[in-house]
Amino acid sequence: MPAYAWKGKNRMGEVQEGVLVSDSRDSAANTLKRNGIEVMSVNLMAGKSSKSIGKVRPKELAIFTRQFSVMIDAGLPLVQCLEILGAQQQNKGFQRIIEAVRGDVEQGLTLQAALSKHPKAFNDLYVNMVGAGESGGILDIILQRLSGYIEKAVKLTAKVKGAMTYPIAVITIAIAVVVIIMVKVIPVFSAMYDGLGSKLPFPTLVCIALSNALINYSWLIILAVALIVVGLRQYYKTMAGRLQIDALLLKIPIIGDVLRKVAVARFCRTLGTLISSGVPILEGMDITAKTAGNMVIQNAILKSKDAVEQGRNISTPLAETKVFPPMVVQMVGVGEATGALDAMLSKVADFYEDEVDNAVTNLTSLMEPVMIAMLGGIIGFIVIAMYLPIFNLANVFGKD
């Protein structure tokens, strides 16, 4: 549906403006009048629709969900909740989505059906949990669980990104320093050594050759790097490529262990939240697989889902995949046996989120000296290589 930018006065005479998604300009004006707005202008936003949205950040979604649950718990009508949330939303793209959802609900659609029209903002997990909340009459509780789930997912992602900030910064600085030395400093030494006419040591020849290549073929190097990056991204979009790269990532020492723990924590948290919200186990496993973030983990969950569909329990097929740690499998088995699978999965998720926190801290502590040593080694090699001819020349003069 098209989006309309409107301006008008409320019942207090205050001028307000916003964005409203509606079938037509007249329909938008009528909706504003029903909401007590004296319409001043309603203009079509060219090229804007409920589908043309910007990125909805998880933090924004968590805040929206938390506020939504509080309003529902306070007894406000669903349409009024969405109207208030849309009006205060700073992200204009997200605002258009909320307005579109409000319009659909006002026309008789369920909240689940209205949300499902906007998969970029509300994924399958969100839509199905809202549907379970609607059918069970516990929408406020479900929204509270959803906001808690999203907040924990954001916190987990932030931990991993925070761990990668330092090494990426060090690598970037190292590359910049080496490039500057190669482009600005090495040519000065090279010109000076050309005048001597003596044979240069091998490390010096290597540095000069790399410097000349960087200066003369920089465009080719940049093009090659760009092609490699684009090629890898395109390859990762294929099923085979994503499976191969994800499997390789899990095998990287230390980093692979962190990624596995993150995936396990996400699996347990997502499936536990879905089950506790009343989503059927098979549907929950299917949604969990889509949010795994790793093709190897996703395939393992789907294989387990197929086994459950055939009448088996969850823990046995999970163990057969050899992807999940034994502790996770045993805890899932205990949860199934006691009928408290959702609670058990939440406890496992808490444990592995703490494990991720510790692993990230250890990874940062380990990478700091390694990165410093690498940077020092590279700079040291260049300095020694460029001063070797001077040392050799000094030795010759000393013998004379």
Please tell me the number of Cα atoms within 13 Å of 152 on its side-chain side. Answer: 22
CA gap 134, 252 in Å, rounded: 44
46-55 mean pLDDT = 48
Structure tokens at 65: 């969900």
pLDDT tens profile 54-83: 568 888 898 899 899 899 888 888 888 998
Give the residue ranges of DSSP H helices in 277-340. Answer: 281-290, 295-309, 315-321, 326-338
**Beta-bridge mates of residue 9:** 15, 38
- E strand or H helix at 16: strand 15-21
Residue 20: its pLDDT value, please? 66
What φ, ψ does residue 13 adopt, rounded to 5°? Answer: 85, 5
How far is CA 325 from each of CA 116, 175, 185, 208, rounded to the nearest angstrom?
A: 34, 38, 52, 51
CA gap 231, 304 in Å, rounded: 33
Residue 250, burial from CB neighbour count under 10 angstroms (0-12, 13-18, 19+) = middle
Mean pLDDT of the chain: 82
Structure tokens at 167: 């090494």
Please indicate, yes or no, whether the overall pTM of this predicted structure exceeds 0.75.
no
385: number of Cβ within 10 Å: 21
Please tell me the number of Cα atoms within 13 Å of 125 on its side-chain side. Answer: 24
Of residues 112, 85, 92, the one with CA closest to residue 4: 92
pLDDT tens profile 278-325: 888 888 888 888 877 788 888 888 888 888 888 888 888 888 888 888
